Structure 1
Amino acid sequence: MNKFNLLLIFILSFLIFSCGSNNGKKKSDFSIQIPNNKSEFTINDDLQATIVNSKNRTIDSISYFFGDRHLKSSRNETELQLQLKDVLLGNQTLKAIVYSEENSDTLTKTIKILNNKAPVVYTYEIVNSYPHDMTSYTQGLEFHDGILYESAGQYGKSKLRKLDLESGEVLKEIELDDQYFAEGLTILNGNIYQLTWQEDEGFIYDLESFEKTGSFAYNQSKEGWGLCNNGEKIFKSDGTEKIWILDPETLAEKTYIQPTHHKSISTRLNELEWVNGKIYANTYQKDGVAIINPENGAIEGLINFSGLRDKVTQHDKLDVLNGIAYDPETDKLYVTGKNWDQIFEVKIIKK
């Protein structure tokens, strides 16, 4: 076969492969238009969008999507109206696939959806305090069957601990290898799940024996920060605007919510705790805890813990608020911080 024939076969193959789809390299004859080019909405808004057909091409059908959700398919409807009351908050993608003259064009528009009201602001009242090891760089804190479990961080100092709340006594402890920086933990179905920070790996332990039984990788996020669960799903923060929802069997990050209030999307949410159907999330290096609706990501409340750090022993390694534990058996909430010598039982009060 000569060089000319080889070149001809290559060109024909390329044309066959390219036919039937707008691969994104050439400008589409269609676009999504939103009135006034609006890109920011709230959940009580209606979203209106129109497919603009600049070359008056014959449209065979259009399929509309919002994120991963298929909205509808139509042969000739170039207008879409969507009520946003039931969608996820945060940065979302409106997508339309236009099929026309044996070609398809995929169109996208990124929009931001905010909550429609400001978070309720709460303060706190100290009910009681309990001793806590001030050398413990608290990363995760959780009750299970009335017993307190803690994950402590820092390279060379990371641990998994079982604690007696009243005395602060360490009942059981595992030290992690020096190359790991431990982060959040949660307990589900007889297992303790513990994150590491930048090592792209989490550990699984048997709840009773504290023996390591496995590990899991982070398949989409780059870091591990906080963990909690609702008895069925595991939620994971990674320092970004996302709280991931993990498959409880494989620990794969399947989907996510974006914690969002009425003005912006929040980031750097750290330690997580499941409290009466909501996610409580500590904001790293802040004195606030966000109360998040796990269904859509709406930040419905903010607890201001200003001044709590001043009530523990002051020393050169004292660090920020981090550590939220809710005991469902007693309906009590506890908070502490990194290298704090006390754990506080607190009552949350609306301001």
Structure 2
Amino acid sequence: MEIKKIIIVALFYFVGILFFSCNNNEKHDNNSAKDTLSSNGDVSIINIISPKPLSLYTIGDKIEIKANISNDYIPDSSFILLNNKVEITNFKTAKNTINTDSCHTGNNSVQIVVWNNGKQHLSNVTILLKSNVIPEKFTYKVIKAYSHDSKSYTQGLIYENGFIYEGTGQYGESTLQKYKLQNSELIQSYNLPEDVFGEGIVVYKNKIYQLTWQSQIAFEFEKSTFKLINKFNFNTEGWGITNLGDNFVMSDGSNTLYVLNPETFSEIKKIEVYDNIGPVNQLNELELIDGKIYANVYQTDNIVIIEPQTGKVTGKINCSGLLDKTKVTKKVDVLNGIAWDQQNNKLYLTGKLWPQIYEVQIVKL
């Protein structure tokens, strides 16, 4: 009887070992691209030779991938991924080519993953992609000029039903204003705290929001009364802001635009802005026009037109000579301020401390 018990226990033990072994083999055989990002593994196993970190390419380029794998390591399976998507399975260490047609501008991640005996090893390199689109060139034609308060250090501009909403800057002088476009009659004004530097503005659901430069605070006002009702924090400098669908998009003076949740100001994603030469920095005041983002480039006379889905600059407007210097009686600053009358397809431009706002027509060169 005891012998039978021993035999039965031994049989169960053997079956258990066999079952565990089969499960382990099954897991190993099913290693796939979906598993590849579960662990960093031992990156010393893989040495990526090409491309070099932060190498600049153009969207659509075919990029050669070269890597060395440790001589005493024989992979069971291997993958090359581009932005977490498998491009090549069981790659060759000598030469592999990936296509960048579906990539976005800016930072893109190339990853090499190998598996051996159920263990993952990962190495990655970041490459940069510039736009494959040559921006169209535009100039402007002045249709009409309107008076503008030459004391206003313009940071944000919005047109709505005959009124201009303007956010102004400078410590101790920052304001939110509403006035009539036709005669600049001031309707409402709110003075921001003296320790903040006002920046861009945006309207959303009968509220108006104003950024600050380095305080990392956005103020929320009732649009009808300018009553301050809330404050939000964000994690970068605030420059320009506009609507993008049901979200906001904000600039911080770099080539990066931040898509934000309008209810919380939390970041949803980034848009890295590139033209066919490289990153376009100093993005400032923003305005959404017919699905594209128009952005003043700080310290220049240029406005760039950005495709938000890709980050590509599709057009550039040269606004040099826009300021009528015969109207200037004191120091002025740079072009900054874009407002769009969607109902009548009219575009208004101004600058910091400029004495006029200009209705302009964009002309293709």
**Normalising to structure 1: TM-score of the pair?**
0.85
Q: Is 1:184 aligned to 2:200, yes or no?
A: yes
Pairs aligned (count)? 326
Contact (CA 8 Å) 1:29, 1:55: kept in 2 or not? no
Query: What is the distance in 1 between the residues matched to 2:74 and 2:185?
Result: 75
Query: What is the distance in 1 between the residues matched to 2:196 and 2:54?
Result: 45
Q: Indicate which of 285, 305, 329 corresponds to 2:299.
A: 285
- Over the aligned positions, Cα root-mean-square deviation in angstroms equals 2.6
User: 2:16: which partner in 1?
Assistant: none
Q: Give per-residue Cα distances to partners, 1:93-146, cap 9 Å, x unaligned.
A: 323344444544332212121112321111110000111111000000012344
**Normalising to structure 2: TM-score of the pair?**
0.82
- Amino acid of the structure 2 residue aligned with 1:84: T
TM-fit CA distance, 1:73: 8.7
Query: What is the distance in 1 between the residues matched to 2:334 and 2:53?
Result: 42
Specify every segment of 5 or more residues in structure 2 that has no aligned partner in the other structure, as ranges: 1-37
Contact (CA 8 Å) 1:281, 1:289: kept in 2 or not? yes
Q: Is 1:232 aligned to 2:246, yes or no?
A: yes
Alpha carbons of 1:131 and 1:38: their partners in 2 closer, same or farther (altered >3 Å)?
closer
TM-fit CA distance, 1:266: 1.0
User: 1:139: which partner in 2?
Assistant: 155
User: 2:356: which partner in 1?
Assistant: 342
Query: What is the distance in 2 between the residues matched to 1:273 and 1:334?
Result: 11
- Amino acid of the structure 2 residue aligned with 1:216: F
Query: What is the distance in 1 between the residues matched to 2:295 and 2:245?
Result: 17
Q: Indicate which of 155, 172, 193 corresponds to 2:171.
A: 155
- Amino acid of the structure 2 residue aligned with 1:252: S
Query: What is the distance in 2 between the residues matched to 1:22 and 1:85?
Result: 27
Query: What is the distance in 2 between the residues matched to 1:230 and 1:36?
Result: 35
Query: What is the distance in 2 between the residues matched to 1:65 and 1:37?
Result: 16
TM-fit CA distance, 1:90: 1.8
User: 2:322: which partner in 1?
Assistant: 308
User: 2:212: which partner in 1?
Assistant: 196
Q: How much identity, in percent, do the aligned residues show?
A: 37
Q: Is 1:110 aligned to 2:126, yes or no?
A: yes
TM-fit CA distance, 1:81: 4.9
Alpha carbons of 1:204 and 1:343: their partners in 2 closer, same or farther (altered >3 Å)?
same
Contact (CA 8 Å) 1:227, 1:273: kept in 2 or not? yes
User: 1:49: which partner in 2?
Assistant: 65
Query: What is the distance in 2 between the residues matched to 1:332 and 1:140?
Result: 17
Alpha carbons of 1:100 and 1:194: their partners in 2 closer, same or farther (altered >3 Å)?
farther
Moved more, 30-39 or 99-108: 30-39
Alpha carbons of 1:184 and 1:161: their partners in 2 closer, same or farther (altered >3 Å)?
same
User: 2:106: which partner in 1?
Assistant: 90
Query: What is the distance in 2 between the residues matched to 1:148 and 1:155?
Result: 22
Contact (CA 8 Å) 1:89, 1:259: kept in 2 or not? yes
Query: What is the distance in 1 between the residues matched to 2:201 and 2:305?
Result: 19
Q: Indicate which of 257, 260, 283 corresponds to 2:271.
A: 257
SS of the counterpart of 1:28?
helix
Contact (CA 8 Å) 2:162, 2:182: kept in 1 or not? no
Query: What is the distance in 1 between the residues matched to 2:313 and 2:202?
Result: 22
TM-fit CA distance, 1:226: 0.4
User: 1:127: which partner in 2?
Assistant: 143
Contact (CA 8 Å) 2:168, 2:199: kept in 1 or not? yes
Contact (CA 8 Å) 1:130, 1:344: kept in 2 or not? yes
Query: What is the distance in 2 between the residues matched to 1:238 and 1:274?
Result: 17
User: 1:175: which partner in 2?
Assistant: 191
Q: Is 1:39 aligned to 2:52, yes or no?
A: no
Contact (CA 8 Å) 1:123, 1:348: kept in 2 or not? yes
TM-fit CA distance, 1:37: 9.2
Q: Indicate which of 212, 222, 232 corresponds to 1:216.
A: 232
User: 1:273: which partner in 2?
Assistant: 287
TM-fit CA distance, 1:210: 1.4
Query: What is the distance in 2 between the residues matched to 1:235 and 1:178?
Result: 26
User: 2:27: which partner in 1?
Assistant: none
